[in-house]
Amino acid sequence: MLLIPCPFCAMDRPEAEFRHAGEAHLTRPPDPAAADDAAWADFLYHRANPRGVIAERWRHVHGCGRFINVLRDTVSDRILASYRPGEKRP
Protein backbone atom coordinates (compact mmCIF):
# COMPACT_ATOMS: atom_id res chain seq x y z
CA MET A 1 0.00 0.00 0.00
CA LEU A 2 1.41 3.35 -1.03
CA LEU A 3 2.17 6.13 1.43
CA ILE A 4 1.03 9.33 -0.24
CA PRO A 5 2.18 12.73 1.01
CA CYS A 6 -0.84 15.03 1.08
CA PRO A 7 0.26 18.63 0.43
CA PHE A 8 -2.80 19.96 2.26
CA CYS A 9 -2.53 17.74 5.34
CA ALA A 10 1.29 17.98 5.15
CA MET A 11 1.84 14.33 6.03
CA ASP A 12 2.17 10.86 4.57
CA ARG A 13 -1.14 9.05 4.58
CA PRO A 14 -1.93 5.46 3.49
CA GLU A 15 -3.30 4.87 0.02
CA ALA A 16 -6.55 3.54 1.50
CA GLU A 17 -7.49 7.14 2.37
CA PHE A 18 -7.22 8.21 -1.26
CA ARG A 19 -8.99 7.56 -4.50
CA HIS A 20 -7.11 7.65 -7.77
CA ALA A 21 -8.37 10.27 -10.21
CA GLY A 22 -6.43 9.71 -13.40
CA GLU A 23 -3.67 11.58 -15.19
CA ALA A 24 -2.89 15.13 -14.10
CA HIS A 25 -2.37 18.29 -16.15
CA LEU A 26 -4.95 17.49 -18.80
CA THR A 27 -6.14 20.79 -20.13
CA ARG A 28 -9.77 21.13 -21.04
CA PRO A 29 -9.86 23.14 -24.27
CA PRO A 30 -10.96 26.67 -23.33
CA ASP A 31 -13.52 26.68 -26.12
CA PRO A 32 -14.61 23.07 -26.58
CA ALA A 33 -16.94 23.98 -29.43
CA ALA A 34 -13.90 25.15 -31.40
CA ALA A 35 -11.97 21.91 -30.85
CA ASP A 36 -12.04 19.54 -33.81
CA ASP A 37 -13.01 15.91 -33.29
CA ALA A 38 -9.42 14.69 -33.15
CA ALA A 39 -8.39 17.24 -30.52
CA TRP A 40 -11.49 16.48 -28.50
CA ALA A 41 -10.90 12.71 -28.69
CA ASP A 42 -7.34 13.36 -27.54
CA PHE A 43 -8.57 15.28 -24.54
CA LEU A 44 -11.26 12.74 -23.70
CA TYR A 45 -9.54 9.43 -24.18
CA HIS A 46 -5.85 9.50 -24.99
CA ARG A 47 -3.54 9.09 -22.00
CA ALA A 48 0.24 8.80 -21.82
CA ASN A 49 0.31 5.81 -19.44
CA PRO A 50 4.09 6.03 -19.22
CA ARG A 51 6.53 3.47 -17.97
CA GLY A 52 8.34 5.66 -15.52
CA VAL A 53 7.32 8.94 -13.94
CA ILE A 54 3.67 9.89 -14.24
CA ALA A 55 1.88 12.96 -12.92
CA GLU A 56 -1.41 11.72 -11.58
CA ARG A 57 -4.30 13.00 -9.52
CA TRP A 58 -5.51 11.52 -6.27
CA ARG A 59 -8.32 12.69 -4.04
CA HIS A 60 -7.75 12.50 -0.30
CA VAL A 61 -11.33 11.35 -0.03
CA HIS A 62 -11.13 9.97 3.52
CA GLY A 63 -9.02 12.88 4.69
CA CYS A 64 -9.18 16.54 3.65
CA GLY A 65 -11.26 15.77 0.57
CA ARG A 66 -8.84 17.67 -1.70
CA PHE A 67 -7.63 16.66 -5.12
CA ILE A 68 -3.84 16.56 -5.24
CA ASN A 69 -1.18 15.93 -7.86
CA VAL A 70 1.47 13.28 -7.33
CA LEU A 71 4.58 12.38 -9.32
CA ARG A 72 4.98 8.61 -9.12
CA ASP A 73 7.34 6.20 -10.84
CA THR A 74 5.11 3.47 -12.28
CA VAL A 75 7.99 0.97 -12.24
CA SER A 76 9.18 1.34 -8.66
CA ASP A 77 6.07 3.02 -7.21
CA ARG A 78 8.41 5.60 -5.70
CA ILE A 79 6.69 8.94 -5.13
CA LEU A 80 8.88 11.86 -6.13
CA ALA A 81 6.63 14.78 -5.26
CA SER A 82 3.12 15.83 -4.40
CA TYR A 83 1.68 19.29 -4.95
CA ARG A 84 -1.54 21.22 -5.15
CA PRO A 85 -3.67 21.51 -8.28
CA GLY A 86 -2.73 24.56 -10.27
CA GLU A 87 0.89 24.39 -9.16
CA LYS A 88 3.55 23.66 -11.73
CA ARG A 89 4.80 20.11 -12.09
CA PRO A 90 8.12 20.10 -10.18
Partner 1 sequence: MIGSPRHEGMMQRLLVGRMFQGRLLPESMRTADGGRVERRTDIRFSFDGADYLGCGGDTLASALLANGVHLVGRSMKYHRPRGIVAAGAEEPNALVAVVRGGGRTTPNLRATQVELFEGLEAHSQNRWPSLNTDLGALVALAAPLLPAGFYYKTMMGPRGLGLWHRVFEPLVRRAAGLGRAPRVADPDRYARYYAHCDVLVAGAGPAGIAAALAAGRGGARTILCDEQAEPGGALLSEIAALIDGIPAREWLAQSLAELAAMPHVRVMPRTTAFGCYPHNMVGLAERVTDHLAAPSPDQPRERLWRVRARRIVLATGAIERPLVFPGNDRPGVMLAGAAREYLLRWGVKVGSRVVIATACDTAYRAALDLATAGVAVKLVVDLRAAADGPLPQAARAAGIAVLAGGRVLGTHLRGKRLDSVLLGRGDDGRRRWFDCDALLMCNGWTPAVHLHAQARGALRWEGERGVFLPGEPAPGVESIGACNGATDLAMALAQGAASGGGAVPVVEGEVPALPGPAHVDAAVAGDAFVDFQNDVRADDVRQAVAEGFHAIEHVKRYTAGGLGTDQGKTGNMNLLALAAAARGTPIPELGTTTFRPPYTPVSFGTLAGPARGEMFDPVRTTPLHAQAVAEGAVFEDVGQWKRARYFPQAGEDMHAAVRREVATTRAAAGLFDASTLGKIEVVGPDAAIFLDRLYLNAIATLKPGRCRYGVMLSEAGFVMDDGVMARLAPDRFHVTTTTSGAAHVLAHMEDYRQTEWPELRVWLTSTTEHWAVLAVQGPRARDVLAPLVAGDISAAALPHMAVRDLKVAGIPARMMRVSFSGEQGFEVNAPARHAPALWDALRPRIAAAGGTVYGTEAMHVLRAEKGYIIVGQETDGTVTPGDLGMAIGRGKGDFIGRRSLARPDMLAADRRQLVGLLSDDPALVLEEGAQIVAQSAPPPGTKALGHVTSSYFSPALGRSIALALLAGGRERTGERLFVPLARGSIGVAVAAPVFLDPQGGRLHV
Contact positions toward partner 1, by CB under 8 A?
1-3, 19, 21, 28-29, 31-33, 35, 37, 40, 44, 57, 59, 61, 65-67, 75-79, 85-86
Shortest distance (Å) from residue 85 CB to partner 1: 4
**Cβ atoms within 10 A of the Cβ of 7, count?**
18
Q: Are 69 and 24 in contact (CB under 8 A)?
A: yes
Shortest distance (Å) from residue 2 CB to partner 1: 5
CA distances from 15 to 20, 64, 87 (A): 9, 14, 22
Question: Quick one: 19 or 89, whose CB is closer to partner 1?
Answer: 19
Angle at 9 between CA 63 and CA 74, to 5 degrees: 80
Question: Quick one: 49 or 76, whose CB is closer to partner 1?
Answer: 76
| 71, 43, 86, 9 alpha-carbon torsion, rounded to 10° | -50
Shortest distance (Å) from residue 48 CB to partner 1: 18
Shortest distance (Å) from residue 49 CB to partner 1: 18
